[in-house]
Amino acid sequence: MLTEWDEGQAIIMERNSDYFAGPAKIDRIVFNIVPDDNAKAEEMLEKAGCTKDSDGYWTRNGERFSFVINATLSL
């Protein structure tokens, strides 16, 4: 059930132990609102254990990542 809504920041939902179909297996879900696409990508990479190297490239275990944003696929 919705327990907190901090507009523009986060939405928090917690398990409803009285739900008719039984309680969910997850205690709590936090949806963080990150409007800036670059900040959103950086936050996801940091949570995945990635870091930026001295050249500014994202790395994980020594491997560099490159991304294609807004690509269009045509056949």
DSSP assignment of 8-64: TTEEEEE--TT-TT---S-SEEEEE----HHHHHHHHHHHTT-EE-TTS-EEETTEE
pLDDT tens sequence across 20-65: 998 888 999 999 888 888 788 778 778 777 777 767 677 777 777 6
Question: Two tokens at 26?
Answer: 């997850």
Q: Kindly list the structural domains of the chain, giving each domain's residue range(s) and its CATH number in brackets, ordered by start.
A: 2-64 (3.40.190.10)
Question: Two tokens at 2?
Answer: 């919705």
pLDDT tens sequence across 2-16: 999 998 889 999 999
Q: pTM for this one?
A: 0.53
Q: How confident is the model at residue 68 (pLDDT cuts 50, 70, 90)?
A: low
